Amino acid sequence: MLLALPLLLAAGSRHRSTIVRHAVAGANDAATDTWHRDAVAATAAWALWIAAVNLCPFARKSLETSDAISYVVTEADNQKAFYAAAVACARDLAAASDVDPTAAIVFLVAPFYEPDDFPAFLRSVEALEDDVMPEASDDAIQIAGFHPAWAFGGVPDDDPLHFEKRAPHPTVSLVLVDGLEHANSAKIAADNERTLSQLGVDAVARAFAGFVSSD
């Protein structure tokens, strides 16, 4: 069952009038829907912070473009179900005709899929990117993984850079490749590292703790 619900971002946000599309996979009662809404609220708060500190040059445009962002919460707790949810999101995004392709983004939030095992989640995302997604969407979709315990190899534990890829829940973002035509990934990475270093690990960690506690 797929239940589509509008979500109004928190009052006080500079984007408080933004409406995002919220899709709940498997929601069939009020309690479940409330929990899913909380997961979306935490992810939406995180996305607003990403835009506010400019960690992603596309985030602000996506937030300010009508109907550009969709949040899909899946209850998948195994690889097969997680991949099926990602493929469904990719196909829906590739087929969408009513959203600006340079701003469209889907966040697939999977709270039950490897929430405590980052290496396993990372292996799944890599396989999804390399083997599953190209076949499912004819290379039209690019994905990126995020995890609450994301850690870059060879980077000190207290380096704020890890927060570039941390989200309140295991999450995959899906965007249209056409929308990334002019992206300079090396510059984005360098800018993100500089931004996070300037903010400092304490400030970034406090912000992240707020997203997690809001769930």
Whether 167 and 43 have beta carbons less than 8 Å apart is answered as yes
Whether 192 and 55 have beta carbons less than 8 Å apart is answered as yes
Long-range pairs for 114-120: beta carbons < 8 A, 24 or more residues apart:
114/147, 114/170, 115/148, 115/169, 115/170, 116/149, 118/147, 118/149, 118/150, 118/151
Q: What distance in Å separates the CA atoms of residue 148 and residue 138, rounded to the nearest whole number?
A: 30
Per-residue model confidence as pLDDT tens digits over 71-108: 999 999 999 999 999 999 999 998 887 778 888 899 99
Taking 70 as the pLDDT cut, the residues of the chain under it are 1-32, 179-183, 214-215
Say what the pTM is. Answer: 0.83
155 to each of 70, 117, 149, 192, how far by Cα in Å?
32, 18, 14, 15
How confident is the model at residue 78, as a pLDDT? 96
How confident is the model at residue 184, as a pLDDT? 72
How confident is the model at residue 180, as a pLDDT? 62
